[in-house]
Amino acid sequence: MVYVVTGAAGFIGSNLVKGLNAQGISNVLAVDDLSQGDKFRNLVDCAITDYLDKDEFLARIRAGSFRRGIKAIFHQGACSDTTASDGKYVMDVNYAYSGTLLDFCQSEQVPFIYASSAATYGAHTEFREDPVCEGPLNVYGYSKLLFDQRVRRLPVAGSQVVGLRYFNVYGDREQHKGRMASVAFHFFNQYHADAHVRLFEGSGGYGNGEQRRDFVSVEDVVKVNLFFLQNPEQSGIFNCGSGAAQSFNDVAVTMLNSCRNAEGRPTLALHELQQQNLLRYIPFPGDLKGKYQSYTQADLTALRAAGYAAPFLTVEQGVSRYCHQLLARSGG
């Protein structure tokens, strides 16, 4: 029997395959759409038993080819572009595709652990897994919320179903994501290309660079996924964030100083980085007005109640570690 990871060549998916490998699991079926061919690099050092294109995988699921052949499905495949405007495409990939896999897993009694998103909360300032806190600002967030609502309607009895509402995930293997890569990744590249980083000016009542998000390392995201694999009695929708909001300035300061320290340069405080023009602010984009979360912070009550007790990396810990991974990959 195989463990299926959809979106396996993507950011979280490939890290999850590596996490399974680290636990001695190599019977992994990697599913993805490699129209963006460069994503293959994320799987080069991964141990898998087979690869299937997403459409072929879906066709085989519908044909019944995988009956009694799948141990668990980690469904990470999705359109993750929060600025996407093609609602038909987003709903097909994020809702219909997920629904097909959910129905299969329920009928075959296969654990189903899938990627939801903190985008389901929209502009709310309380981030509990409760409908009163939900109100997506874009079709991406709506597609994720609609699927969560479908999961909530399932009977209590049945195979494990876990939805993980990812907050702002950063870390290794996200180089293919373009604009949707984490700010930590963009700051690293900006510093090495231009010797400074750029943040948005103030918005939503926050000062320059002081908008706050729950930044969570992909290392911790993988640990949460594997926790639920190891605890099949746990089902539900759970936040997957650090539980602590930190500013974009915090991310920039940590990345800048990590890069500078690697060059033998001293650590500088925020105001010193600003004074030396190493940290600059650009106008807030007009296309993001009314569609931007200026503040997020995962409420981890439900996750902790499910038994996940491990601490999460802070921005200072995780971004510094990520910088070293990026330097190693770039030969810096």
pLDDT attached to residue 126: 95
Confidence of residue 257 (pLDDT cuts 50, 70, 90): very high
pLDDT attached to residue 93: 84
Fold of the domain spanning 175-211+246-292+321-325? UDP-galactose 4-epimerase; domain 1 (3.90.25)
Note whether 2-168+217-242+299-312 and 175-211+246-292+321-325 share their fold.
no
Catalytic residue (choose from 71, 177, 223, 291): 177
* d(C-alpha 97, C-alpha 220), whole Å: 26
Mean pLDDT of the chain: 94
Give yes or no for residue 81 having a pLDDT over 70. no
pLDDT attached to residue 332: 61
Give yes or no for residue 293 having a pLDDT over 90. no
The hierarchical CATH code for the domain 2-168+217-242+299-312 is 3.40.50.720
Spans of all domains in the chain: 2-168+217-242+299-312, 175-211+246-292+321-325
Based on the residue annotation, tell me whether 177 is a catalytic residue of this protein.
yes
pTM of the model: 0.95
Q: Which residue has the higher pLDDT, 291 or 332?
A: 291
* d(C-alpha 125, C-alpha 153), whole Å: 25
Q: Which residue has the higher pLDDT, 75 or 81?
A: 75
> Where is average pLDDT lowest: 208-217, 232-241, 244-253, 287-296?
287-296
Catalytic residue (choose from 97, 121, 140, 308): 140
pLDDT attached to residue 156: 73
Based on the residue annotation, tell me whether 292 is a catalytic residue of this protein.
no
